[in-house]
């Protein structure tokens, strides 16, 4: 069975590990990356089905990464931005940069689950409905 | 030459000592740095291990897991328990869990708290409460609060009036966060000052509670601790407890100004009719700022029953600001009864330094004047007596200003005042000014001054009329 891939970019080790575990439970293959530079180089070859990234990252910020995905790579992959900067400004900036959703921290995994279901067409249990072709 | 050889030997000796010291230092730095790097690496490795463990334990589904997976889970938990027996490991785990606790919400947060409790980490934190070091105690209270350990409520309660500020404030937040009855206990027992910042934090915490059966905060309006009263007032305001209105009478006459001011804001917010009699009685005893508060309260909640009091204020008040406000209130409550203020003296007060040089203006205090309408209400023959009441209390500068105002209006009713000034004034320049004004009325006062009624008689008459 082919899995869908999620690219997770966050420099917080514990949070990333926890989130990776959660995404794996949703039957997603997770590529966990620590900074914007690593994410950019991964994206040059890899094509994830969904991108989950933090706003504050080493080397390149989350906004820069999203702009890179949308403008330079011209990918239409769904992007979920997560940040502890819960402000109108951060929300607007992330949406203007090209993110589909902005989720503030503390992150409710139920909400994230709903977003994954929306973008990846998961069934309520969290399993993928259709396998990647 | 011999001296030079000895000097070289000494220098060699020094060089050897310094060389050895430098070598020791470098070796020490190298070893110490290596140790730090090694520890950092170990710590990073441990963090990764912890993250894996937390992730696995957090999302383990007992319902769907096979027996083998369940066994593995229990084994992992046992290993983790053994691992956290070491203080360093435990501290690392707690730090990671606290950090994660801030990043997740909903079910994941609850699971994290359950895991914390399952691993008996709260017991270690409670143990830390016994430490004599304030930073350890404070960190333990914070940890227990963030992990919502209601069991720690009783031990933390003991720190409520702790002499160490950090510990005390941490305990206050904990008590309020951990149990619903915490706020009542806190208000009952707090003996120390409560900073404004702390009060705001407490209100924020209580407001963030979903279901909160709040006590009636008026119970603490008569507390001994002024901080308690302030907080109780702010809480009553934040939670819209309009039932406290009847208890605000004591608050607005409290000895502490901040409490009184807060009391007035609540009176206005809740439209506390019950407090009106107290405010009316207290009005003449309080300061200018408080009078404004009282007038503002009447402006927002006054009705026709308060017209009498407002008229009294309007007649007796000497401050311009208060008079303006009283006038506005009267306009609002009884538009037909309020009169427009056209008193020339008052107009002069608005422009007291008009036409004067900078030197003349100097650094003088403003004139304390009586409202014009008050004088006109005193009736024929007594006009200007209120001015007289204050005229002779003023300094020469202000007296000149008053006369200046009179000269501008040229009201014949001011003649009696001018005559009195001529008769009683001791300053020659002012006396001359009064005479000149009288001349402008066509009166040669040097001839007529004997007709003037003695000043003290006029003042007595004026008071009797009032």
Query: Count of A–B CB contacts within 8 Å?
Result: 63
More confident residue, A133 or B289: B289
Rounded distance, CA B397 to CA B246, Å?
49
Whole-number pLDDT of residue B379: 35
B311 touches A: beta carbon within 8 Å: no
Residues in A closer than 8 angstroms to B56, CB to CB, are: 21
pTM, to two decimals: 0.66
pLDDT per residue as tens digits for the range B241-253: 888 888 888 888 8
ipTM exceeds 0.95 = no
Report the pLDDT averaged over residues B42-47: 86
Total residues belonging to chain A: 133
Residue of A nearest to B51 (CA): A14
pLDDT for B38 beyond 80: yes
From A25-39, A56-70, B25-39, B427-441, the region with the lowest mean pLDDT: B427-441
What distance in Å separates residue A116's CA from the closest CA in chain B? 17
From B51-60, B205-214, B422-431, the region with the lowest mean pLDDT: B422-431
- Helix or strand (DSSP H, E) at A103: strand A101-104
pLDDT for A19 beyond 70: yes
Residues in B closer than 8 angstroms to A106, CB to CB, are: 102-105, 109
pLDDT for B67 beyond 70: yes
pLDDT per residue as tens digits for the range B179-193: 988 999 999 999 988
What distance in Å separates residue A54's CA from the closest CA in chain B? 12
Report the pLDDT averaged over residues B403-425: 76
Whole-number pLDDT of residue B2: 54
Whole-number pLDDT of residue A79: 93
A96 touches B: beta carbon within 8 Å: no
pLDDT per residue as tens digits for the range A85-130: 877 888 888 888 899 999 988 888 889 999 998 888 765 444 444 3
């Amino acid at each position: 069975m082919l899995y869908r891939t999620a690219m997770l970019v966050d420099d917080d080790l514990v949070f990333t590990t926890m989130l990776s575990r959660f995404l794996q439970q949703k039957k997603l293959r997770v590529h966990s990356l620590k900074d914007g530079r690593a994410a950019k180089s991964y994206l040059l070859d890899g094509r994830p089905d969904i991108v989950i990234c933090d706003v504050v990252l080493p080397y390149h910020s989350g906004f820069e990464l999203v702009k890179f995905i949308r403008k330079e790579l011209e990918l239409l992959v769904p992007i979920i931005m997560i940040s502890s900067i819960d402000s109108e400004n951060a929300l607007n900036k992330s949406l203007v940069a090209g993110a589909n959703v902005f989720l503030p921290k503390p992150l409710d995994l139920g909400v994230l689950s709903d977003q994954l279901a929306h973008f990846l067409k998961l069934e309520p249990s969290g399993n993928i409905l259709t396998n990647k072709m | 030459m011999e001296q030079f050889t000895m000097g070289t030997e000494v220098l060699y000796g020094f060089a050897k000592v310094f060389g050895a010291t430098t070598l020791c230092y470098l070796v020490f730095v190298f070893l110490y740095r290596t140790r730090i790097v090694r520890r950092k690496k170990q710590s990073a490795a441990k963090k990764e291990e912890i993250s894996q463990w937390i992730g696995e334990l957090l999302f383990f589904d007992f319902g769907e897991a096979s027996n083998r997976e369940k066994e593995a889970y229990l084994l992992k938990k046992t290993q983790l328990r053994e691992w956290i027996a070491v203080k360093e490991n435990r501290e690392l785990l707690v730090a990671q869990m606290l950090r994660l606790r801030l990043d997740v919400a909903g079910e994941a947060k609850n699971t994290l708290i359950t895991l914390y409790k399952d691993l008996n980490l709260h017991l270690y934190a409670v143990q830390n409460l016994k430490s004599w070091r304030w930073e350890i105690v404070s960190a333990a209270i914070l940890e227990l609060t963030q992990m919502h350990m209601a069991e720690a409520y009783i031990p933390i309660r003991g720190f409520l009036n702790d002499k160490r500020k950090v510990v005390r404030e941490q305990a206050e937040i904990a008590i309020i966060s951990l149990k619903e009855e915490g706020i009542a206990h806190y208000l009952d027992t707090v003996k120390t000052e409560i900073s404004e910042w702390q009060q705001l934090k407490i209100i924020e915490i209580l407001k963030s509670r979903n279901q909160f059966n709040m006590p009636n905060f008026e119970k603490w309006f008569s507390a001994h601790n002024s901080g308690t009263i302030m907080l109780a007032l702010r809480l009553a305001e934040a939670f819209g407890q309009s039932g406290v209105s009847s208890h605000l009478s004591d608050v607005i006459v409290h000895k502490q100004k901040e409490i009184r001011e807060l009391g007035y804001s609540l009176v206005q917010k809740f439209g506390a009719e019950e407090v009106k009699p107290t405010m009316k009685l207290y009005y003449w005893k309080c300061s200018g700022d408080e009078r404004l508060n009282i007038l503002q309260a009447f402006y927002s909640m006054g009705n026709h029953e308060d017209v009498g009091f407002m008229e009294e204020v309007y007649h007796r008040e000497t401050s311009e600001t208060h008079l303006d406000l009283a006038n506005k209130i009267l306009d609002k409550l009884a538009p037909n009864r309020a009169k427009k203020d056209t008193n020339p003296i008052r107009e002069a007060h608005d422009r007291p330094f008009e036409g004067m040089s900078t030197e003349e203006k100097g650094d003088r205090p403003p004139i304390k004047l009586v409202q014009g309408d008050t004088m006109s209400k005193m009736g024929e023959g007594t006009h200007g007596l209120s001015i007289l009441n204050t005229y002779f209390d003023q300094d020469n500068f202000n007296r000149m200003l008053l006369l200046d105002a009179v000269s501008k209006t040229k009201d014949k009713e001011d003649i009696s005042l001018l005559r009195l000034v001529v008769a009683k004034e001791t300053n020659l320049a002012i006396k001359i000014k009064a005479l000149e004004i009288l001349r402008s009325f066509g009166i040669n006062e040097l001839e007529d001054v004997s007709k003037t009624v003695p000043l003290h008689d006029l003042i007595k008459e004026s008071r009797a009329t009032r």
